[in-house]
């Protein structure tokens, strides 16, 4: 069953790159007492993710924060090294927190995993965006396969 608006976000841990190397961030640290936009992409460096999805949130970061959002976070079923390199490549700076869901455990906990083995990518997370307020999903926007509409930055900004 997939997460829906009103549900508490499942607990879990993400990989993050720190100044001293790979580290971890719990969902408590990410969500507790904060308003967060959690964006998920099927894969770092993939076309739509790299050219549209992530850059849209970088471009709209100030406007999103102006709506009371504390953190914009982007997760993908990639390792922490790939997420860090992708963030640098896309120039996210401090605008977007890059989260590695290396084994796809968080995507699965959300009920939003997908089988991308037909593309040689194994199990991945679907393309989505969730507005989270103090650990509770307030708005859940999951894309239909092959679509890029409801989870893009402009749509999330309108939903805030």
Q: 53 lies in a domain?
A: yes
5 falls within a domain: no
**Is position 54 within any domain?**
yes
Q: Residue 103 falls within a domain, yes or no?
A: yes
User: pLDDT tens digit string along 90-146?
Assistant: 999 999 999 999 999 999 999 999 887 877 776 889 999 999 999 999 999 999 988
Q: Identify how many contiguous H helices and E strands the chain contains and give both numbers.
A: 7, 9
Q: Per-residue pLDDT tens for 4-28?
A: 999 999 999 999 999 999 999 999 9
Domain count within the chain:
1
Q: Name the residue range of residue 32's domain.
A: 13-159
Q: Give the residue from 148, 30, 160 showing the smallest Cα distance to 96.
A: 30
What residues are labeled active site?
49
Q: What is the pLDDT of residues 49-62, one digit of tens each?
A: 777 889 999 999 99
pTM over 0.85: yes
Task: Provide the 8-state DSSP code for 101.
Answer: -
Asked whether residue 51 is assigned to any structural domain, the reply reads yes
Residue 109: inside a domain: yes
Look at residue 74 and tell me if it is in a domain. yes
Q: Are 156 and 137 in contact (CB under 8 A)?
A: no
Q: What is the CATH number of the domain that holds 32?
A: 3.40.30.10
Q: Is residue 121 part of a domain?
A: yes
């Amino acid at each position: 069953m997939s997460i829906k608006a009103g549900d508490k976000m499942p607990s879990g841990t993400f990989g993050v790159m720190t100044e001293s190397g790979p580290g971890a961030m719990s969902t408590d640290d990410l969500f507790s007492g904060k308003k967060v936009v959690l964006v998920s992409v099927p894969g770092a460096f993939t076309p739509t993710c790299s050219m549209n999805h992530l850059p849209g949130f970088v471009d709209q970061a100030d406007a999103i924060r102006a709506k009371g959002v504390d953190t914009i976070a982007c997760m993908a079923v990639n390792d922490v090294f790939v997420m860090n390199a992708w963030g640098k490549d896309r120039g996210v700076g401090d605008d977007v927190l890059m989260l590695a869901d290396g084994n796809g455990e968080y995507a699965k906990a959300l009920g939003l995993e997908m089988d991308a083995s037909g593309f040689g990518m194994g199990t991945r997370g679907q393309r989505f965006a969730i507005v989270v307020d103090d650990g509770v999903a307030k708005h859940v926007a999951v894309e239909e396969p092959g679509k890029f509409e409801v989870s893009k930055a402009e749509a999330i900004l309108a939903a805030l």
